[in-house]
Amino acid sequence: MKKLVPFLLTVTMAVMVMGCGSSKKEQADNAADSANTANADLAEEKMAEGDIGETMCTSWFDFTVNSAYLCDAFADYKAAQGNELLVINVTVENTFKEEIPMFDDDFWVQWGSETSDAAYAYPITEPVSSDQGVLPESYRLDVGDSKNGVLVYEVPAGQPRFAIAYLEVTSEEEPGNAYVVYFEPAKQ
């Protein structure tokens, strides 16, 4: 799946840049429209977009980004110089007819723009204490079960806008639908 990230990253960053130049009213209108149609246009676009608090409905599970913030340290882990930690609280619910395996790296974060190199990161689950509500590297969700927890990412300091993404991959390793949630986290 990691080889599919550059493709999705390019698409997502183009969409992020398009939204950056709009007025506050246009952004509010767009947010309201996306809240009503977050997953409605998947058949055509193959990409659903949302904001914090919106539920994204994939083929196997629903996920909601509940909140996000930036900090210098989380539990016993301190960000390297020039970086900070992005902490995202997410809820994942199995909507499939069978138990599903989940992995922390199902979700990655992206930042940057067309004028600078867009980049991405996967969660840093291992060095962070699971006692702090961090989702494990892997877990299983029974039918109808949900799990809430945080994903922690080390990102360059000073980034104002992020996106968290999930890309469906078929059993033939072909990319499927993409689900992207945009946000601007506050520093804590």
Cα torsion 111, 116, 121, 127: sign = negative
Confidence (pLDDT) at 129 = 66
Cβ within 8 Å of residue 82, ≥6 positions away: 156, 157
- Residue among 178, 140, 186 at smallest CA distance from 13: 178
User: Rounded to the nearest 10 degrees, how much is the dihedral formed by the CA atoms of 6, 9, 14, 18?
Assistant: -170
The residue whose two tokens read 């914090």 is 52
Chain segment 45-84, per-residue pLDDT in tens: 589 999 999 999 999 999 999 999 999 999 889 999 999 9
Structural domains in the chain?
2-187 (2.60.40.1240)
The neighbour count for residue 157, using CB atoms within 10 Å, is 13
CA–CA gap between residue 10 and residue 113 (Å, rounded): 9
Question: Whats the size of the chain, residue-wise?
Answer: 188
The residue whose two tokens read 């109808």 is 144
CA–CA gap between residue 161 and residue 156 (Å, rounded): 12
Residue 169 is classified by DSSP as E
Chain segment 5-51, per-residue pLDDT in tens: 444 444 444 344 333 333 333 433 443 343 334 454 444 558 999 99
The neighbour count for residue 108, using CB atoms within 10 Å, is 22
Chain segment 145-184, per-residue pLDDT in tens: 999 999 999 999 999 999 999 999 877 777 789 999 999 9
